[in-house]
Amino acid sequence: MRTTILFGGPSRERLVAVASAQGLTRVLPEADLWFWAPDGQVYNASQAVLLGHERPFELDLPTEGAPIGDIETALDVAAREDRALLLSLHGGFAEDGGLQALCETRGVAFTGSGAQASRLAFSKTAAKDVVAQAGVSVPESIALENAPAALAKYGRLIAKPAEDGSSYGLIFVDAPTDLDAVAQAAKEMPYVIEPFVAGLEATCGVLEQDGRVFALPPVEIRPSAGKFDYKSKYLAKDTEEICPATFGEAINAALQDQALKAHAALGCRGYSRTDFIVGEHGLVYLETNTLPGLTASSLYPKALKAQGIEIATFLKGQLALAEARARQAETAA
């Protein structure tokens, strides 16, 4: 199959996706580049423009190259030309199962989880329900109308978009006036409200490789200014990401165990990354990412490195899995 990096996408996480694609094309320079631009169209892209694009976390990539068409047209081309898509996409339709369903319908090979798992994981509410049944420790969900009483009970809450990533839209609720901001934000998109859990942030990747599924070394996160938001993740210079994490053997093992349980319960495939808070009373689940970032500053590549796995080996393994699954689906049809 012909390897094609499909990157960008219509969501506001497209900046991270472009930054991921910069790293991927350096590792797989032979791959074709398809840029899913903010206008909804897919274009052929050049390595020169992609790699020459500075400040990818802040500025959109210029659109250049010959147009292919909208995403469905591009996937038709991918099916006709027997392409395997290496997905450098995050958020929205690219990660909520919509794109994956279009690929599956056409028999197009693609990296990452399938439509059903992507749909489940992308909804923080649905994901919490599913992983809790598998024994993963999840936080309480609080309805907006019950938030004032919960704030009085817990002293601090956190609100986040129910279907978004890269720490966009986080609202820390420290006072009743902060609930006004949550109510306003909830008019634009669904929000999840939970008790704020003090502790250190951690993440743990899961990888399917060579016929087995295993957890990577956990990453410990010590964010700039104490908040791991978009700026702290991608723009701050003083955020610390330590891998392997220094929590100790028992906690690191628990992180790996719960990440594996979440991956399996949601039906993820290929790879995933699950985020937690390590608090004084143990672990608290935050979310599972089915297409975690693969930028130079992303957490999953750090875990791969700590495991001793080269990024090229990882990518080629994921492409092989994608191709095998596409062929299996074709045979079963």
* pLDDT tens sequence for the chain (333 residues): 899 999 999 888 899 999 999 999 999 999 999 999 999 999 999 999 999 999 988 999 999 899 999 999 999 999 999 999 999 999 889 999 999 999 999 999 999 999 999 999 999 999 999 999 999 999 999 999 999 999 999 999 999 988 865 466 889 999 999 999 999 999 988 899 999 999 999 999 999 999 999 999 999 998 766 554 555 555 556 678 999 999 999 999 999 999 999 999 999 999 999 999 999 889 999 999 999 999 888 999 999 999 999 999 999 999 999 999 999 888 876
Q: Report residue 10 as tokens.
A: 């219509």
Domain with CATH 3.40.50.20 in the chain: 2-110
Domain with CATH 3.30.1490 in the chain: 144-195
Q: In this predicted structure, what is the pLDDT of residue 166?
A: 46
Taking the C-alpha atoms of residue 147 and residue 152, their distance in angstroms, rounded to an integer, is 9
Q: In this predicted structure, what is the pLDDT of residue 237?
A: 63
Taking the C-alpha atoms of residue 321 and residue 114, their distance in angstroms, rounded to an integer, is 12
For residue 208, the number of C-alpha atoms closer than 13 Å in the C-beta half-sphere is: 19
This prediction's pTM: 0.90
Q: In this predicted structure, what is the pLDDT of residue 225?
A: 62
Taking the C-alpha atoms of residue 39 and residue 50, their distance in angstroms, rounded to an integer, is 17
14 touches 8 (CB < 8 A):
yes
The CATH superfamily label for domain 122-137+198-314 reads ATP-grasp fold, B domain (3.30.470.20)
**Which ranges constitute the DSSP H helices of the chain?**
14-27, 47-52, 71-80, 98-106, 115-122, 124-133, 147-154, 176-186, 230-234, 249-266, 299-307, 311-332
Which CATH number is correct for 2-110, 3.40.50.20, 3.90.226.10, 1.20.120.50, 1.10.2020.10? 3.40.50.20
Domain with CATH 3.30.470.20 in the chain: 122-137+198-314
- CATH class of the region 144-195: alpha beta
Close Cβ partners of 96 (under 8 Å, ≥ 6 residues apart): 118, 119, 122, 123, 163
299-to-31, 56, 107, 193, 219 alpha-carbon distances in Å: 23, 17, 31, 25, 7
Q: In this predicted structure, what is the pLDDT of residue 332?
A: 79
Q: Report residue 36 as tokens.
A: 């899913």
71-to-5, 12, 40, 165, 313 alpha-carbon distances in Å: 14, 17, 7, 21, 28
Q: Give the largest CA-CA distance in the chain.
A: 59
Close Cβ partners of 143 (under 8 Å, ≥ 6 residues apart): 193
